[in-house]
């Protein structure tokens, strides 16, 4: 009788664990709110390399939406480059250029002028602009290593803010 009770308890604990794991996975619904899984997308760099947001899983990532004609975007880019150089081993940075509102030539000149070394992808058809409902630029999403949105920042960030905001997600 004891073996039967122990077997039932083990089955119940195992069943609860499986149910809990499935419930936790379902809780990560794809969306734009904090706690949602970030919607995946794929865009190309200037040299034609396809980059998927999901390529960055396993590391936190800052996804920044910007254009070359945006004064606050210009202001934050040196700090983004400084952050990327100092922390790219712990946190990735992906700049989504809203090319549908700008030009490829402008982004190429901008990357050269600001000596940007982090990945810049081009949203030429408003695909990601609409997917993420971007209305104000710059806008950044902080996404954890599991692809879950942890924070949304509307407006430019400073180097100090990037360090402070991502500190909890760096390993």
Per residue in 29-42, pLDDT tens?
999 999 999 999 99
Rounded CA gap, 31 and 148, in Å? 9
What pTM, to 2 d.p., does this model score? Answer: 0.83
Place of tokens 């990532």: 61
Residue 106: partners with Cβ closer than 8 Å, 6 or more residues away: 68, 69
Low-confidence ranges of the chain (pLDDT < 70): 1, 4-27, 171
Q: Is 46 in contact with 120 (CB distance < 8 Å)?
A: yes
List the structure tokens of 153: 């920042």
């Amino acid at each position: 009788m004891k073996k039967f009770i122990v077997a039932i308890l083990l089955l119940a604990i195992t069943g609860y664990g499986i149910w809990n794991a499935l419930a936790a996975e379902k809780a990560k619904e794809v969306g734009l709110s904090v706690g949602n899984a970030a919607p995946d997308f794929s865009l190309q760099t200037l040299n034609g390399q396809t980059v998927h947001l999901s390529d960055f899983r396993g590391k936190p990532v800052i996804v920044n939406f910007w254009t070359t004609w945006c004064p606050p975007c210009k202001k934050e880019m040196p700090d983004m480059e400084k952050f990327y150089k100092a922390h790219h081993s712990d946190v990735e940075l992906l700049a989504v250029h809203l090319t549908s509102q700008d030009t490829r030539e402008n982004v190429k000149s901008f990357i050269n002028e600001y000596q940007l070394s982090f990945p810049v992808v081009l949203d030429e058809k408003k695909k990601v602009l609409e997917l993420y409902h971007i209305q104000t630029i710059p806008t950044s999403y902080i996404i954890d290593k599991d692809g879950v949105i942890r924070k949304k920042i509307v407006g430019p960030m400073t180097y100090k803010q990037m360090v402070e905001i991502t500190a909890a997600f760096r390993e």
